[in-house]
C-alpha cells in the first residue's frame, strides 16, 4: 500500500492507564507497556500505520511525564514530532492543536486521530478501511469515524447510531456516550449501532472550522499556539495558553453538536470495521484477549518462573521471577511488581483505577 502524502497520523498518548496499575504508572503508562507481544502498545500503533504515511508525517501528543520514554521507544520520530501538553485537557484541545499546526504545514492535510493503546488483529484490513476513510475525509467537510460491530452490551464504550448507506459508508445519526446496561442491550438488539472506536479521520481544515464553530475560545487559543510553533516563543506560549483551553473530549465538543444538525447536514460518516479491535481497557479485557488467542482457549494465564495449578480456573497472574502456586481459586487477577501487589477478581478489575485515586489522595506518589 503506497504512502499517502496528505495523511498525517496523530497519536494521542497522554493517558495514565490507571486500570493497569500497578504495572502502569505516571512515567510508564499503559501505552508504554508490552501487553500484547514484544512491542509496546505505542510501538505497535506506529508500526501498523507506517505503510500509510511517511514517518515525518507522524505526530504524538502526550505529556511531560511520558515524553522522554516515548522518544526512546520511537527513535525514528524527531523531538519536534512529540508534543507534551503542559496540562491535560482531554482530546478536543489535543487533536485541535494538531489541526492548526498541520493546516499551516499542508492545507490539504487529512488527520487520523488514533489512541495509542489499541490492539488490531487484521492490520491489512485495518489499513484498507483507513484508506477509504482518508478518501471520504479529503473529499469535503466530512468527519469519518471507524465503528466496531458490537459483540455484547458493553457499557464502557460510546455508541454510534448509523443511518443511511452512502458509497460504502454509513451516515451517522447520533453519538451516545457510555449508556447503562439496559440501553446498551437495546442498541445491540437494534442492529444499527456500532461501538465508537475513538479512531477519526478529517481534514485539518474541517477540524479547525468545527472547533471555531463549537469551541471558539479554545480554537483561538490553539491557533495562537500553533502560530508560534518553530519559534523560540513556542514553549512559553504553549505553557501559558494551553491550560486555558476547555477540558473536553472531541466527542462532546464536536461530534455531538455536529450530529445534532441531522443525518444529512452533519456530514459524519461511519465505516463499519471488522479487523479484530480491542482497546484492552482492563486486566479482565487483557485476560480475555490472551485467552481467546490461545488454542485451545486458556483457563489460567500465568506469567511466572514456574507454576503449580490445583483446582483453579480462569485466573490471570503476573509475577515474573516467582514460582506461583494456585490452589482452589477462580477468576482472580493478581499482579505483582517490585513495590506493589494487586489482588482483585475479574469482575471487579474495572475498579482498579480507584486504587490510583486513593494513592493520589494520600500523596503516595512513589506508587503512582
Domain spans, the chain: 7-278, 283-367
Return the C-alpha cell found at 221.
Answer: 487559543
Directed axis angle between helix 91-105 and helix 204-214, to 10°? 130
Residue 281, pLDDT score? 85
Per-residue model confidence as pLDDT tens digits over 301-317: 999 999 999 999 999 99
Residue 292, pLDDT score? 81
User: Average model confidence (pLDDT) for the chain?
Assistant: 94
Residue whose C-alpha cell reads 454509513 in the numeric block = 170
Residue 37, pLDDT score? 87
Residue 178, pLDDT score? 86
Per the CB < 8 A criterion, the answer to whether 103 and 223 are in contact is no
Return the C-alpha cell found at 33.
Answer: 507497556
* Alpha carbons 209 and 202: distance in angstroms, whole number: 11
Give the closest residue to 256 by CA, choosing from 172, 182, 198. 172
**Stated pTM of the model:** 0.92
Give the closest residue to 9 by CA, choosing from 90, 76, 63, 89. 76
Phi, psi of 304, deg, nearest 5: -160, 180
* Alpha carbons 207 and 211: distance in angstroms, whole number: 6
Phi, psi of 112, deg, nearest 5: -110, 125
Give the closest residue to 16 by CA, choosing from 85, 100, 95, 73. 85
* Alpha carbons 28 and 98: distance in angstroms, whole number: 24
Give one DSSP letter per residue of 236-248, joined into a string.
HHHHHHGGGS---
Per the CB < 8 A criterion, the answer to whether 205 and 181 are in contact is no
Per-residue model confidence as pLDDT tens digits over 84-124: 999 999 999 999 999 999 999 999 999 999 999 999 999 99
* Alpha carbons 255 and 272: distance in angstroms, whole number: 17
Q: Which CATH number fits the domain 7-278, given the four candidates 3.30.1510.10, 1.10.10.60, 3.40.109.10, 3.90.550.10?
A: 3.90.550.10
Amino acid at each position: 500500500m503506497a504512502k499517502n502524502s496528505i495523511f498525517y497520523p496523530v497519536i494521542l498518548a497522554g493517558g495514565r492507564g490507571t486500570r493497569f496499575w500497578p504495572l502502569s504508572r505516571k512515567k510508564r503508562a499503559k501505552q508504554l507497556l508490552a501487553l500484547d507481544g514484544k512491542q509496546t502498545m505505542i510501538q505497535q500503533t506506529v508500526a501498523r500505520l507506517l505503510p500509510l504515511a511517511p514517518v515525518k508525517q507522524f505526530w504524538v501528543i502526550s505529556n511531560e511525564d511520558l515524553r522522554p520514554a516515548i522518544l526512546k521507544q520511537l527513535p525514528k520520530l524527531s523531538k519536534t514530532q512529540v508534543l507534551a501538553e503542559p496540562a491535560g485537557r482531554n482530546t478536543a484541545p489535543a487533536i485541535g492543536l494538531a489541526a492548526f499546526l498541520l493546516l499551516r504545514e499542508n492545507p490539504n492535510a487529512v488527520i487520523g486521530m488514533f489512541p495509542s493503546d489499541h490492539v488490531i488483529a487484521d492490520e491489512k484490513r485495518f489499513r484498507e478501511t483507513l484508506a477509504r476513510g482518508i478518501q471520504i475525509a479529503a473529499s469535503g467537510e466530512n468527519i469519518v469515524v471507524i465503528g466496531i460491530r458490537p459483540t455484547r452490551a458493553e457499557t464502557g464504550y460510546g455508541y454510534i447510531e448509523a443511518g443511511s448507506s452512502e458509497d460504502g459508508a454509513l451516515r451517522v445519526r447520533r453519538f451516545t456516550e457510555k449508556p447503562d446496561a439496559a440501553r446498551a442491550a437495546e442498541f445491540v438488539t437494534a442492529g444499527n449501532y456500532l461501538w465508537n472506536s475513538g479512531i477519526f479521520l478529517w481534514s485539518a481544515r474541517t477540524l479547525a472550522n468545527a472547533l471555531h464553530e463549537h469551541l471558539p475560545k479554545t480554537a483561538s487559543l490553539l491557533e495562537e499556539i500553533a502560530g508560534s510553533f518553530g519559534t523560540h516563543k513556542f514553549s512559553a506560549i504553549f505553557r501559558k495558553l494551553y491550560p486555558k483551553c476547555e477540558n473536553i473530549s472531541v466527542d462532546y465538543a464536536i461530534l455531538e453538536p455536529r450530529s445534532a444538525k441531522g443525518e444529512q447536514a452533519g456530514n459524519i460518516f461511519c465505516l463499519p470495521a471488522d479487523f479484530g479491535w480491542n482497546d484492552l481497557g482492563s486486566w479482565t479485557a487483557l485476560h480475555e484477549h490472551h485467552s481467546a488467542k490461545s488454542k485451545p482457549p486458556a483457563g489460567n494465564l500465568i506469567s511466572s518462573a514456574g507454576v503449580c495449578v490445583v483446582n483453579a480456573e480462569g485466573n490471570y497472574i503476573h509475577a515474573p521471577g516467582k514460582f506461583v502456586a494456585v490452589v482452589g481459586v477462580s477468576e482472580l487477577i493478581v499482579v505483582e511488581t517490585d513495590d506493589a501487589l494487586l489482588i482483585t477478581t475479574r469482575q471487579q478489575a474495572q475498579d482498579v483505577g480507584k486504587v490510583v485515586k486513593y494513592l493520589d489522595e494520600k500523596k503516595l506518589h512513589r506508587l503512582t
